[in-house]
Amino acid sequence: MTSHDPQNTDQDTTHTLKDLLKTIWSTMTFPIHSAGWPFILGFVVVTFLLALVSCILGLIGAVLTLWCVYFFRNPVRHVPTKAGLIISPADGLVSQIKKNVSLPVELDVPESEADYTQVSVFLNVFNVHVNRVPFTGTVKQVIYHPGKFLNAALDKASEENERSTTLVETEDKKLYAFVQIAGFVARRILNDLKDGETVKTGQHMGIIRFGSRVDIYLPKGTNPLVTVGQTMLGGETVIADFKSREKARESITI
């Protein structure tokens, strides 16, 4: 007969509780993007003032403060390292995929370089809004373009909304671009990249505040490996593969 050691049982229980607490703590805590701290501190001050007036107003302020902290979260992402992969620059849903389009008009690119596929990722106010570089290369142009604040889900937002456009050249001289687009709520785009800078896949490159969209332009011969309606994780989800000749993905509704 096998004897049962109560001491080992207690140790196993202790380890299980520690693992559970560690998991809960890692889920509830996350890094905050530096651009968010002024907003968070502002929410804290307003919440304190509201609490002096009314407990209910103070509670509302506290909820909004927690939402602000959540909005500016900057979670750790595990970037795929296989050569040729293009990863999503943002969290959100793929809202559209358009073929045979030109690069944004603000870029200084010959008309002969017009055959691109545009993949649009729409971010709602609950998505992570920290943006990442989709692919390793050299930044050729970074252009800020003032504009309107239409609903970022609209097709014409690509041309009419305020945006920041980045053109990157790969080692094999291919050009691709990605565009941070302001939306109806988003009123501030931050792009930290500079002309001539060497960037790596998954590198932090900026943030869009409060709801927006990011478009990425894939060069001819590079098929998207995502479909409309698919959920994206910035820095992790593979959008395409430069080195693959796989056909564009199709989806079914289950």
Going residue by residue through the chain, which has 254 residues, state the pLDDT in tens, using 9 for 90 and above.
555 555 555 555 566 666 666 655 555 556 888 888 888 899 999 999 999 999 999 999 999 998 888 888 888 889 998 888 999 999 999 999 999 888 888 887 766 556 899 999 998 888 888 999 999 999 999 998 876 655 555 666 566 678 899 999 998 888 899 999 886 655 578 899 999 999 999 999 998 876 688 999 998 888 899 999 999 999 999 999 987 777 777 776 66
- Cα 86 from Cα 225, distance rounded (Å): 10
d(CA 194, CA 55): 47
pLDDT of residue 208: 83
Query: Of 95, 212, 244, 251, which is the active-site residue?
Result: 212
For tokens 């796989």, the residue is 246
Helices in 119-194 by DSSP H: which ranges?
Answer: 157-160
Global pTM reads 0.78
**Has 212 been annotated as catalytic?**
yes
Q: What angle do CA 211, 212, 214 make, to 5 degrees?
A: 145
Number of Cβ within 10 Å of residue 147's Cβ equals 13
Give the Cα separation of 251 and 123 in Å (integer).
21
Element (H, E) at 64: helix 55-71
Other CB atoms within 10 A of residue 129 CB: 30
CA distance 46 to 141: 40
- What the block records as the tokens of 69 is 């902290």
| Structure confidence at residue 151 (pLDDT) | 56
Which pLDDT score is estimated for 160? 66
